[in-house]
Amino acid sequence: MDFTLSPEDESLLAATRRYARDVLRPAADRLEAVTSPEEFPWDLMEEGTALGLKALPLSPELGGRGADMVVQALVTAELAAGDVGAAYFFRHYWRFARLIPRLPEPVRDLVVKGITSDNRFVPASASTEELAGSDNALPYDAPGHGAMLEARREGDGWVLDGSKSMITNGGIASLYFVLGRTDAGVGIRSGATMFAVPASIPGVTVGPLYRKLGQRGSPQADVAFDRVRVPLDFAVSEVGSGYASTERGLIAANVTNAGLSLGVAEAAYEEALDWSIDRVQGGVPIHRHQLVAHDLGWMRYQLDAARSYLLQAAWRYSHAEPFNPEWSWGVRVFCADMAIEVTRRAMFLFGGRGMMGGYRIEKLVRDALTLTHGNGTSAILTARLGAHQADARIDSRAISREASEIAAGTAAGAGARAGAGTTHEVTAEVRRG
């Protein structure tokens, strides 16, 4: 693996770092105060857009940089060190940029034009429902479970009826990618389809923004679809394969979610390090006390381990064919857990000030606590990884058994593997895109 960045990528990271430090971080109070779509700070985001952050993974032919996942992960970390909500805003574009080769032409044109030339174009993914959160992520693949927003064929179009919950970019989005149930008689794996739904279509309504523990600069709201009609070619997946399309996007997003965690934790560490030098207690700067020095050292090697894990997962995503989704699940969980513990220890060094508004560390702790819920909870992603490992071991045993039987000259091996199948929830090897 080679993590060496090109001079152009190094320049982009430096510019992103300056943007996060000089624009996003000073605007923390403004980002925290967003309570309605009208208050969203478009001007702050336009400065990042000018750096090319929205179009980062698009090919140069489409107006982007063609950045691989390593660059995307590192850019995400730099942005999150400024403000995690703003980092979510830019990173959200990238999951839809990856869909472009698969999109029907009318939707593809909307997305490409929106990302490259419309500062107010915002995409949003709408899968979660009031009764379908973890059932989408695990999933519990049975009729009546998972996303149940109804999507039915009527004449020359599709009609969507139902609602989605806690949708990121709800209220500011101009195009929703909606997971709808096209066959309620089967499980979500084969009964759901993904649709592109412009926010301006009659029947789309958005509820008030949620007031959140952290990530307050990233708006979330419930979105209702009341007999919303879209053209036939606004089905952006094959009918019945919407879950697979969603899963591909989440596997990629897990890697950049890990970058979000790294950025928040790095910011907390920097706050704690400076505080430990400037704060004097017991007649000396507090870094001279062994307990403080110990915690600073612990935070540093946790951050270094997380960065190494993230770089490996990101490099494998872009350069190892095919990609094992275990890397995305594992790195997302590890980095989120690391961020919570690093910010907690950093807060401890501030004493009572650590829980007071007006001290940046208090915000970083809140932001870190929200990072265990992206693209499925950490518990579910960890369970999927463990089940995936067990299934892989079962398959490898079957292969070894077949090889032994063939080597022994028996005929049993020929049919054993053919009938064995696999119990993997998600294929162990995922094509990128």
The answer to whether 184 touches 144, Cβ cutoff 8 Å, is: yes
As a whole number, mean pLDDT of residues 293-317 equals 98
Give dist(CA 204, CA 223) in Å, integer.
Answer: 7
Burial class of residue 196, CB neighbours in 10 A (0-12, 13-18, 19+): buried
The two structure tokens encoding residue 213: 């523990």
The tens digit of pLDDT for each residue in 59-77 reads: 999 999 999 999 999 999 9
- Residue 425 confidence (pLDDT) above 70: no
Highest-scoring range by mean pLDDT, 14-18, 98-102, 421-425: 14-18
Contacts for 143 with CB less than 8 Å, ≥ 6 apart: 184, 185, 186, 187, 191
Separation in Å, CA 157 to CA 99, 151, 184, 203, 227 = 22, 10, 19, 15, 12
Give this prediction's pTM.
Answer: 0.92
Residue 426 has what pLDDT? 52
Confidence of residue 408 (pLDDT cuts 50, 70, 90): confident
Residue 402's nearest CA partner among 417, 422, 380, 382 is: 417
- Residue 54 confidence (pLDDT) above 80: yes
As a whole number, mean pLDDT of residues 113-122 equals 94
The tens digit of pLDDT for each residue in 310-349 reads: 999 999 999 998 899 999 999 999 999 999 999 999 999 9
User: Domain 7-117 is in which class?
Assistant: mainly alpha
Give dist(CA 193, CA 182) in Å, integer.
Answer: 6
As a whole number, mean pLDDT of residues 160-184 equals 97
User: How is the chain split into domains, by residue range?
Assistant: 7-117, 123-239, 244-381
* Residue-averaged pLDDT of the chain: 93
Residue 150 has what pLDDT? 98
Contacts for 125 with CB less than 8 Å, ≥ 6 apart: 92, 95, 96, 167, 168, 176, 177, 246, 249
The two structure tokens encoding residue 48: 């990042």
Superfamily of chain region 244-381: Butyryl-CoA Dehydrogenase, subunit A, domain 3 (1.20.140.10)
Confirm whether 7-117 and 244-381 share one CATH topology: no
Give dist(CA 405, CA 341) in Å, integer.
Answer: 50
Note the Cα 337 to chain centre separation in Å: 15
Percent of the chain with pLDDT over 90: 87
Residue 352 has what pLDDT? 95
The two structure tokens encoding residue 164: 């989605």
- Domain 123-239 CATH (choose: 3.40.190.10, 2.40.110.10, 1.20.58.1290, 3.40.50.620): 2.40.110.10
Separation in Å, CA 251 to CA 268, 336, 430 = 27, 15, 9
The tens digit of pLDDT for each residue in 222-265 reads: 999 999 999 999 999 999 999 999 999 999 999 999 999 999 99
Residue 433 has what pLDDT? 53
The two structure tokens encoding residue 18: 């300056």
| Bond preceding residue 139 cis, omega within 30 of 0 | yes
What dihedral angle (degrees, nearest 10) is formed by the CA atoms of 267, 269, 272, 273? Answer: -110
Q: Which amino acid is at 356?
A: M
The two structure tokens encoding residue 110: 């909307």
Residue 428 has what pLDDT? 44
Residue 421 has what pLDDT? 44
Q: What b/e readout covers 78-108, taking b as 16+ CB neighbours within 10 angstroms?
A: bbbbbbbbbbbbbbbbbbbbbbbeebbeebb
The answer to whether 190 touches 161, Cβ cutoff 8 Å, is: no
Q: Does residue 22 sit in helix, strand or coil?
A: helix
The answer to whether 211 touches 232, Cβ cutoff 8 Å, is: no
Give dist(CA 247, CA 242) in Å, integer.
Answer: 9
The answer to whether 150 touches 162, Cβ cutoff 8 Å, is: yes
